[in-house]
Amino acid sequence: MKHAGRVGPAVGLSATVLAAALLATGCGAPASNAADTPKGDDRGDITQLIYKFYDNMEKNQYDKEKDVLADGVTVKNPGGGVTTGADKVIANASAAAKNEDRTQHVVTNVIVDVNGDKATAQADVDQLFGSSKTPQGKLAPEPTMRLSSKMHFEATRTANGWRVSHIEGDLLWAVQK
pLDDT at residue 54, as a whole number: 94
How many domains does the chain contain in total?
A: 1
Neighbours of 128 (CB within 10 A): 19
> Nearest-5° angle of CA 106, CA 110, CA 114?
150
| Element holding 121 (H helix, E strand) | strand 118-130
Q: Are the beta carbons of 166 and 154 closer than 8 angstroms?
A: yes
Confirm whether 163 is domain-assigned.
yes
* Parent domain of 75: 40-176
Confirm whether 93 is domain-assigned.
yes
Q: Are the beta carbons of 98 and 27 closer than 8 angstroms?
A: no
pTM for the model: 0.74
pLDDT at residue 28, as a whole number: 43
| CATH (domain of 123) | 3.10.450.50
Confirm whether 165 is domain-assigned.
yes
pLDDT at residue 39, as a whole number: 56
Q: What is the DSSP letter of 80?
A: S
Confirm whether 154 is domain-assigned.
yes
Confirm whether 23 is domain-assigned.
no
Q: Identify each DSSP E strand in 15-81 by its residue range.
A: 69-76
Confirm whether 122 is domain-assigned.
yes
pLDDT (tens digit per residue) in 83-112: 999 999 999 888 877 766 788 899 999 999
The distance from CA 95 to its chain's CA centroid, rounded to whole angstroms, is 23
pLDDT of the chain, 177 residues: tens digit per residue: 444 444 444 444 344 443 333 334 344 444 434 443 345 799 999 999 999 999 999 898 999 999 999 999 999 987 789 999 999 999 988 887 776 678 889 999 999 999 999 999 999 999 998 888 898 999 998 888 999 999 999 999 999 999 999 999 999 999 998
Confirm whether 10 is domain-assigned.
no
Confirm whether 96 is domain-assigned.
yes
pLDDT at residue 35, as a whole number: 40
